[in-house]
Amino acid sequence: MSYIHAGKWFHQGRRFCQLTFHNIQNLSPAILGSATCVDRRQLCLVDNNCRRYSQGNGGHQREQSHWKWGLGLAGSLGVVGSILYWKISHQKLHAAEVEAGILKTGLPTFSKTDVAKHKTAESRIWVTYRNGVYDVTDYVSEHPGGNKILLGAGTAIDPFWEMYGVHKQAEIFAVLEKYRIGNITEVEEVKETDKKDPYANDPKRHPALKPASEKPFNAEPPPSLLIYSYLTPNDLFFIRNHLPVPVVDPKTFSLQVAVEKENEGVKLSLDDLKSKFPKKSVTTTIQCSGNRRSEMIKIKSVKGLNWGNAAISTAEWSGVTLDTILKHSGIDIDKADCKHVQFEGMDKGPDGATYGASIPIEIARCLKNEIIIAYAMNGTDIPRDHGYPLRIIIPGIVGARQVKWLNKIVLSNEESSSHWQQRDYKGFNSSTDWHNVDFSKAHAIQELPVVSAICEPAEGQMLDDAEVVTVKGYAWSGGGRGIYRVDVSADGGKTWHEADLNTNNQSPFKAWAWTLWEATVPLPKESKNTLLICKAIDSSYNCQPDSVEGIWNLRGVLSNAWHRVSVTIPDEQR
Amino acid sequence: MSYIHAGKWFHQGRRFCQLTFHNIQNLSPAILGSATCVDRRQLCLVDNNCRRYSQGNGGHQREQSHWKWGLGLAGSLGVVGSILYWKISHQKLHAAEVEAGILKTGLPTFSKTDVAKHKTAESRIWVTYRNGVYDVTDYVSEHPGGNKILLGAGTAIDPFWEMYGVHKQAEIFAVLEKYRIGNITEVEEVKETDKKDPYANDPKRHPALKPASEKPFNAEPPPSLLIYSYLTPNDLFFIRNHLPVPVVDPKTFSLQVAVEKENEGVKLSLDDLKSKFPKKSVTTTIQCSGNRRSEMIKIKSVKGLNWGNAAISTAEWSGVTLDTILKHSGIDIDKADCKHVQFEGMDKGPDGATYGASIPIEIARCLKNEIIIAYAMNGTDIPRDHGYPLRIIIPGIVGARQVKWLNKIVLSNEESSSHWQQRDYKGFNSSTDWHNVDFSKAHAIQELPVVSAICEPAEGQMLDDAEVVTVKGYAWSGGGRGIYRVDVSADGGKTWHEADLNTNNQSPFKAWAWTLWEATVPLPKESKNTLLICKAIDSSYNCQPDSVEGIWNLRGVLSNAWHRVSVTIPDEQR
Does a structural domain hold residue B560? Answer: yes
B316: number of Cβ within 10 Å: 20
Sheet strands (E) in B208-311? 210-213, 218-220, 239-240, 254-259, 266-269, 280-287
Q: Are strands A515-522 and A468-476 parallel, antiparallel or unpaired?
A: antiparallel
Please check whether residues B467 and B409 belong to one and the same domain.
Answer: no
Domain end point (choices B90, B105, B122): B90
Q: Rounded to an integer, what distance in angstroms lies between the CA atom of residue B535 and that of residue B561? A: 8
Residue of B nearest to A500 (CA): B441
Share of chain A above pLDDT 70, in %: 80
Please check whether residues A401 and A333 belong to one and the same domain.
Answer: yes
Which DSSP symbol is given to B320? E
Q: Which of A339, A501, A509, A562 to mutate to probe the B interface, most B CBs <10 Å? A: A509
> Which of A315-319, B83-87, B174-178 shows the lowest mean pLDDT across its residues?
B83-87
Does a structural domain hold residue A232? Answer: no
Please check whether residues A36 and A10 belong to one and the same domain.
Answer: yes
Which DSSP symbol is given to A103? -
Q: What is the pLDDT of residue A195?
A: 58
> Which of B95-104, B199-208, B328-337, B523-532 shows the lowest mean pLDDT across its residues?
B95-104
Q: Rounded to an integer, what distance in angstroms lies between the CA atom of residue B50 and that of residue B43? A: 15
Please check whether residues B334 and B309 belong to one and the same domain.
Answer: yes
Average pLDDT of chain B to the nearest whole number: 83
β partners of residue A63: A52
Nearest 5°: the CA angle B295, B211, B501 is 55
Q: Rounded to an integer, what distance in angstroms lies between the CA atom of residue B356 and that of residue B354? A: 6
Q: What is the mean pLDDT of residues A232-254?
A: 97
- Counts for chain A of helices (H) and strands (E), in that order: 12, 30
Q: Rounded to an integer, what distance in angstroms lies between the CA atom of residue B338 and that of residue B23? A: 43
β partners of residue B179: none
Please check whether residues A484 and A537 belong to one and the same domain.
Answer: yes
Phi, psi (rounded to 5 degrees) for A474? -125, 160
Cβ–Cβ of B427/A558 closer than 8 Å? Answer: no
Q: Rounded to an integer, what distance in angstroms lies between the CA atom of residue B284 and that of residue B403? A: 15
CB A561 within 8 A of CB A545: yes
Q: What CATH code is carried by the domain that includes residue A160?
A: 3.10.120.10
What one-letter code names the amino acid at A383? P
Determine the distance from the C-alpha atom of residue A395 to the mean position of all C-alpha atoms in its chain, rounded to a whole number: 16
Q: What is the pLDDT of residue A540?
A: 98
Catalytic site residue A288?
A: yes
Identify all chain B residues contacting A545, using CB atoms and an 8 Å cutoff. 543-546
Phi, psi (rounded to 5 degrees) for B321? -70, 150
Of A477, A468, A470, residue with least CA distance to A454? A470
Nearest 5°: the CA angle B253, B257, B259 is 150
Which residue numbers of B are catalytic? 143, 167, 240, 288, 425
Cβ–Cβ of B539/A448 closer than 8 Å? Answer: no
Does a structural domain hold residue B279? Answer: yes
- Give Cβ neighbours of residue B526 (< 8 Å, ≥ 6 apart): none
Q: What is the mean pLDDT of residues B434-444?
A: 95
B204: number of Cβ within 10 Å: 9
Sheet strands (E) in A416-458? 451-456
Which DSSP symbol is given to A525? S
Half-sphere exposure (Cβ direction) of A308: Cα atoms closer than 13 Å: 19
Please check whether residues A369 and A277 belong to one and the same domain.
Answer: yes
Size of chain A in residues: 574
Cβ–Cβ of B366/A509 closer than 8 Å? Answer: yes
Which DSSP symbol is given to B543? B
Cβ–Cβ of B509/A539 closer than 8 Å? Answer: no
- Count of CB contacts below 8 A, A vs B? 116
Q: Rounded to an integer, what distance in angstroms lies between the CA atom of residue B185 and that of residue A106? A: 117
Half-sphere exposure (Cβ direction) of A105: Cα atoms closer than 13 Å: 0
Please check whether residues A84 and A100 belong to one and the same domain.
Answer: no
Q: Rounded to an integer, what distance in angstroms lies between the CA atom of residue B385 and that of residue B376? A: 13
Identify all chain A residues contacting B430, using CB atoms and an 8 Å cutoff. 496
Q: Which H or E run includes B298?
A: helix B293-299
Q: What CATH code is carried by the domain that includes residue B409?
A: 3.90.420.10
pLDDT tens digits, one per residue of A436-469? 999 999 999 999 999 999 999 999 999 999 999 9
**pLDDT greater than 60 at residue B299:** yes
Domain end point (choices A90, A122, A137): A90
A451: number of Cβ within 10 Å: 27
CB B20 within 8 A of CB B4: no
Residue of A nearest to B488 (CA): A429
Does a structural domain hold residue B68? Answer: yes
Which DSSP symbol is given to A14? S
**pLDDT greater than 60 at residue B449:** yes
pLDDT tens digits, one per residue of B366-390? 999 999 999 999 999 999 999 999 9
Instruction: Find the CB nearest A541 among B449, B481, B498.
Output: B449
- Give Cβ neighbours of residue B119 (< 8 Å, ≥ 6 apart): B125, B126, B150, B153, B154
CB B46 within 8 A of CB B35: yes
Please check whether residues B466 and B425 belong to one and the same domain.
Answer: no
Of A240, A241, A244, residue with least CA distance to A196? A244
Q: What is the pLDDT of residue B57?
A: 34
Active-site residue (options: A228, A388, A425, A474): A425
Q: Rounded to an integer, what distance in angstroms lies between the CA atom of residue B445 and that of residue B417? A: 15
Reported for B251-255, long-range contacts at CB under 8 A and 24+ positions apart, including other chains, are B253/B389, B253/B390, B253/B407, B254/B407, B255/B325, B255/B373, B255/B390, B255/B406, B255/B407, B255/B408, B255/B409
Residue B188 confidence class, pLDDT cut points 50, 70, 90: low
Which DSSP symbol is given to A533? E
pLDDT tens digits, one per residue of A87-100? 333 344 454 455 78
Shortest alpha-carbon distance between residue A535 and chain B (Å): 10
Shortest alpha-carbon distance between residue B413 and chain A (Å): 15
Could you tell me the pTM of the whole model?
0.76
Does a structural domain hold residue B144? Answer: yes
Identify all chain B residues contacting A495, using CB atoms and an 8 Å cutoff. 431
> Which of A92-96, A421-425, B78-82, B479-483 shows the lowest mean pLDDT across its residues?
B78-82
Please check whether residues A455 and A555 belong to one and the same domain.
Answer: yes
Residue A334 confidence class, pLDDT cut points 50, 70, 90: very high
Identify all chain A residues contacting B503, using CB atoms and an 8 Å cutoff. none
Average pLDDT of chain A to the nearest whole number: 83
Sheet strands (E) in A91-179? 109-110, 119-120, 124-129, 132-135
Q: Rounded to an integer, what distance in angstroms lies between the CA atom of residue B18 and that of residue B227? A: 11
Q: Rounded to an integer, what distance in angstroms lies between the CA atom of residue A269 and that of residue B102? A: 85
- Give Cβ neighbours of residue B545 (< 8 Å, ≥ 6 apart): A543, A544, A545, A546, B551, B560, B561, B562
Q: What is the DSSP string of B124-146?
A: EEEEEETTEEEE-GGGGGG-TTG
Domain end point (choices A123, A157, A184): A184
Phi, psi (rounded to 5 degrees) for B172? -70, -40
Please check whether residues A126 and A54 belong to one and the same domain.
Answer: no
Which DSSP symbol is given to A86? G
Does a structural domain hold residue B446? Answer: no
Q: What is the mean pLDDT of residues B539-547?
A: 98
Does a structural domain hold residue B213? Answer: no
Identify the domain containing residue B46 by its residue range: 6-90
Instruction: List C-alpha distances in Å: B314 to A360, B317, B370, B502.
Output: 26, 9, 16, 14
Which DSSP symbol is given to B321? E
Please check whether residues A101 and A73 belong to one and the same domain.
Answer: no
- Give Cβ neighbours of residue B332 (< 8 Å, ≥ 6 apart): B326
Which DSSP symbol is given to A379? T
**pLDDT greater than 80 at residue B521:** yes
Q: Rounded to an integer, what distance in angstroms lies between the CA atom of residue B276 and that of residue B286? A: 27
Please check whether residues A269 and A320 belong to one and the same domain.
Answer: yes
Which DSSP symbol is given to B364? H
Q: What CATH code is carried by the domain that includes residue B523?
A: 2.60.40.650
pLDDT tens digits, one per residue of B225-248? 999 999 999 999 999 999 999 999
Instruction: Find the CB nearest B479 among A493, A497, A540.
Output: A540
Of A567, A569, A539, A534, residue with least CA distance to A292? A534
Instruction: List C-alpha distances in Å: B465 to A498, B78, B528, B571.
Output: 48, 16, 12, 9
Instruction: Find the CB nearest B445 among A430, A449, A541.
Output: A541
Cβ–Cβ of A545/B544 closer than 8 Å? Answer: yes
Catalytic site residue A143?
A: yes
A25: number of Cβ within 10 Å: 14
Q: What is the mean pLDDT of residues A384-404?
A: 98
Q: Rounded to an integer, what distance in angstroms lies between the CA atom of residue A255 and that of residue A269? A: 6
pLDDT tens digits, one per residue of A27-40? 333 322 233 332 22
Instruction: Find the CB nearest A507 among B362, B507, B540.
Output: B362
Q: Rounded to an integer, what distance in angstroms lies between the CA atom of residue A450 and that of residue B545? A: 12
How many domains are there within chain B?
Answer: 4
Does a structural domain hold residue A439? Answer: no
Q: Which of B11, B340, B429 to mutate to probe the A interface, most A CBs <10 Å? A: B429
Residue of A nearest to B450 (CA): A542
Which DSSP symbol is given to B142? G
Cβ–Cβ of A362/B539 closer than 8 Å? Answer: no
| ipTM value greater than 0.85 | no
Cβ–Cβ of A362/B509 closer than 8 Å? Answer: yes
Determine the distance from the C-alpha atom of residue A421 to the mean position of all C-alpha atoms in its chain, rounded to a whole number: 24
> Which of A318-327, B18-27, B155-164, B255-264 shows the lowest mean pLDDT across its residues?
B18-27
Residue B52 confidence class, pLDDT cut points 50, 70, 90: very low
